Amino acid sequence: MEDLTQEEWSEQLANDDNAVVLDVRTDAEVADGIIPNAIHIDIYKGQDFINEIEELDKSKNYYVYCRSGNRSGQACNIMEELGFENAYNLEGGMLEWTGDVVDLD
């Protein structure tokens, strides 16, 4: 796992053809907006979270975020334990995000 600053995360993501953006916030948090093209899997779903993560393609590069950067850091650690080699945590999460956000409705 690697912690990336907002700038590093955005720049690396923009230049990564093998990238998947992963939002690990709750449904209520996601209702406030989501980074474009992100997949949403709530880390608070416990075993269901792990089950859904295990279905993802381990050859992809995952850019993981939450509200502040704590849960996404935990998610990156879980992903590493499950055999994912490239998981990048967004430091500061959505609280510091200045990039695009889309509403899901």
Q: Provide the CATH number for the domain around residue 41.
A: 3.40.250.10
pLDDT for 44 equals: 97
User: Which of 41, 53, 64, 66 does the annotation list as catalytic?
Assistant: 66
Instruction: Tally the domains of the chain.
Output: 1
Sorted by sequence, the CB contacts under 8 Å of residue 83 that are 6+ apart come out as: 58
Tens digit of each residue's pLDDT, the chain (105 residues) = 899 999 999 999 999 999 999 999 999 999 999 999 999 999 999 999 999 999 999 999 999 999 999 999 999 999 999 999 999 999 999 999 999 999 876
pLDDT for 39 equals: 96
Give the integer Cα–Cα distance in Å for 22 and 87: 10
Asked if 66 is an active-site residue, the reply is yes
pLDDT for 104 equals: 74
Evaluate whether residue 102 is within a structural domain: no
Domain range spanning residue 31?
2-96
Evaluate whether residue 101 is within a structural domain: no
Evaluate whether residue 66 is within a structural domain: yes
Evaluate whether residue 87 is within a structural domain: yes
Give the integer Cα–Cα distance in Å for 32 and 8: 24
Task: State the Rg of the chain over Cα.
Answer: 12
Evaluate whether residue 6 is within a structural domain: yes
H or E element: which one contains 3?
strand 2-4
